[in-house]
Structure 1
């Protein structure tokens, strides 16, 4: 374990968290250390309910972070069910987005409950937000994020170099 002292509350915290399937991940920052002005975008992968995904992304500290990124018109990219915390944060109210489309549309209906105009397409972009409807879309989301951060031309260079058509 890697521990460090949180200066805002003077507590010792771990820098290691367990991700899905109990895979340990070392984190570089905790919520209280994040200055969104240091970042150009927020990328949120999806996750599994049975591994605590919703408890983590519905945490008010994360919800606040999402709202701050959106307020500064910074790019927010999500894969699969990661659109749900955006919906819950309120930033997708009245906007277009998508989320996991299988399982009878359960998660898309959940996203609609947050007053989102759900579009059943693989990748949906509405202003600064990129959403997608399943894990298979991850490369497409990554390329769209790269395009928005740089340019279509630079994204195409990287895409071709990686063997994508």
Structure 2
């Protein structure tokens, strides 16, 4: 289920997202995992993701050791919340970007790899990792066997 802070989100490149539910309409206890996509600062990603309301969501999932997966700069959201302090993580690492330094400023132990999994948390280095993150997340939530089956059925083997 998709959950958001607003009924409709205006994203980059005129892409709109209409979440199925608003955060105020759900109980976090009903969810087994949290997946956070990356995005652009110009589209307002950080203003919303760094809000007290969403930071509380991140901390809730971490405190309950529920799986959390992020793609690209979404790991900065975890860093901002404090859950990556003294944990291995990565984020967008293009040579022109300062995002790794930003993540490190939150106390994360930077690992310059495509995907970094530390316990129940997955972080990744760029948008091109999205499928790999999704399959790792699926494995965490179900089983290695199921993740391999889905990968095969989707033509990834």
In 1, the alpha carbon distance for the partners of 2:7 and 2:97 equals: 36
Q: Does 1:114 align with 2:106?
A: yes
1:84-142 CA distance string (max 9 Å, x none): 01000000110000000103451011000000001000000001100000000000000
Secondary structure at the aligned position of 1:130 is classed as strand
What CA RMSD, in Å, does the superposition of the two structures yield over aligned residues?
1.4
Matches within 5 A, 1:11-160: 15-160=7-152
In 2, the alpha carbon distance for the partners of 1:52 and 1:16 equals: 13
Q: Is the 8 A contact 1:46 1:79 kept in 2?
A: yes
Rg comparison, structure with higher value: 1
Structure 1, unaligned runs of 5 or more: 1-12
Structure 2, unaligned runs of 5 or more: none
User: TM-score scaled to structure 2, two decimals?
Assistant: 0.92
User: TM-score scaled to structure 1, two decimals?
Assistant: 0.88
In 2, the alpha carbon distance for the partners of 1:27 and 1:147 equals: 25
Q: Is the 8 A contact 2:37 2:71 kept in 1?
A: yes
The number of residues matched between the two structures is: 153
Q: Is the 8 A contact 1:21 1:51 kept in 2?
A: no
Deviation at 1:14, TM superposition (A): 6.2
CA gap of 1:14–1:107, structure 2 versus 1, over 3 A, is closer
